[in-house]
Structure 1
């Protein structure tokens, strides 16, 4: 709905590309000031306020939040979208890789949300939306570390929703299926047969295609919208039915 975010300031971590960039576009279309937090801000559209923020570093996050507060005087929405992927079983990812991924995918969300809380408490339409994954609800091959990190994101969403609801802050998450993003494309490019690998990923999803970033952005916009004031502690799947449907294989 045009104008539903008028006057609101929304921070999107990982907002320079992929799903994050689509979320930024959707917020701007709804009237919000969309702010990008990312390690690489070179490709951010003109007119979008972007801050180079490393969510793995507390000082960097705090400085980013302060920059937004100084520029706009408010923060209304935080989308914790930034994260890293991981491939492997519990045997193949060593301790250092577990610490790296959890530090970004889980503690990164904590750092950004924690720093933004004083501002969100002042907002008349405060919302946090976390990006989890289909790996929260479905066991996928060689996604042990990634799935564990996103499972923590889902659990954190519930705990944060309980902790902050009566402060006027809604907290939800979105669970995308395999999406058509730069990270997935890099995985495909590294496969022995990228065409066959893409076909396999598409066949795994009941609607037989990859999820588009704009579809995830639409779900995030709903969860963040002031029009969804009774929606909190919710995980919204955008996965073509992969979590809940069991269709017969195509011929």
Structure 2
């Protein structure tokens, strides 16, 4: 019960890493707002975790939508102790082949979404005496990968923003860290594999990125987020916890 009585908002919580975080946090004693653009999927996750979870449909790229999410959490639970900024997605493309509108849309979710959520939540945390923020970055924030320019840039921004917020708000007893996953199996990768002309070769290539020779399961990343969110990490702020099977050690 490492998160007993802690109120948590998790974005991108209807599937993959976010869903695994919601499940583990409830098991550890937290009350969770399952926030996701897919409202129906968020409702399904929250229903499975009832009575410790509720759902909220949100587009994190919208300031008004984020304000509504935070107000819903405050109205229901009275406070927000932990914010997990997990919403995000990737697209293929170099800076030459990525359309401007696609670049802007991805940045609005992956990077601006973190800014908007933190901008709303940090004043609440400061007023209540502190809190914890965990952002989902990526190991590509430090090494880069081919044909994912927008995604790499957005996750590099998340990692840098994490450090800036950690410094800005340490005096308010707010810890800010990020996790940097490697390839993690999700519905996103299901779709990527299904659309590839040679799915088995593509899956083998994904596994080969890691010295461990496999991808992560969402729960493995969620466990890292749990540690950062808990008092076990009470002296950690401004940190990036890399969980990538050794990819960045090559």
Give the structure-1-normalised TM-score. Answer: 0.94
Deviation for aligned residue 1:45: 3.6
Determine if contact 1:161/1:169 at 8 Å carries over to the other structure.
yes
Residue equivalent to 1:27 = 25
State yes or no: 1:202 paired with 2:207.
Answer: yes
Gaps of 5+ in 1: 247-251
CA shift digits 1:183-237 (9 cap, x unpaired): 1111111100111100111011110001110010000001111221100000001
- What RMSD over aligned residues (CA atoms) do the two structures have, in Å? 1.1
Residue equivalent to 1:7 = 5
Residue equivalent to 1:249 = none
Determine if contact 2:58/2:69 at 8 Å carries over to the other structure.
yes
For 2:145 and 2:159, the matched residues in 1 are separated by: 17
For 2:183 and 2:128, the matched residues in 1 are separated by: 33
CA shift digits 1:11-45 (9 cap, x unpaired): 10000110000000111111000111111132324
State yes or no: 1:76 paired with 2:74.
Answer: no
Residue equivalent to 1:221 = 226
- The runs of at least 4 aligned residues of structure 1 exceeding 6 Å deviation read none
Deviation for aligned residue 1:180: 0.5
For 1:226 and 1:73, the matched residues in 2 are separated by: 21
For 1:122 and 1:214, the matched residues in 2 are separated by: 32
For 1:132 and 1:168, the matched residues in 2 are separated by: 22
Task: Map 1:90-129 onto structure 2 (within 5 A).
Answer: 90-123=95-128, 126-129=131-134
Structure 2 counterpart of 1:166, from 171, 182, 198 = 171
Residue equivalent to 2:15 = 17
For 1:179 and 1:187, the matched residues in 2 are separated by: 12
Gaps of 5+ in 2: none
Structure number with the higher helix fraction is 2
Deviation for aligned residue 1:4: 1.2
For 1:232 and 1:45, the matched residues in 2 are separated by: 29
Deviation for aligned residue 1:160: 0.4
State yes or no: 1:54 paired with 2:21.
Answer: no
For 2:229 and 2:2, the matched residues in 1 are separated by: 10
For 1:117 and 1:134, the matched residues in 2 are separated by: 26
Structure 2 counterpart of 1:65, from 70, 73, 77 = 70
For 1:228 and 1:60, the matched residues in 2 are separated by: 31
Give the structure-2-normalised TM-score. Answer: 0.95
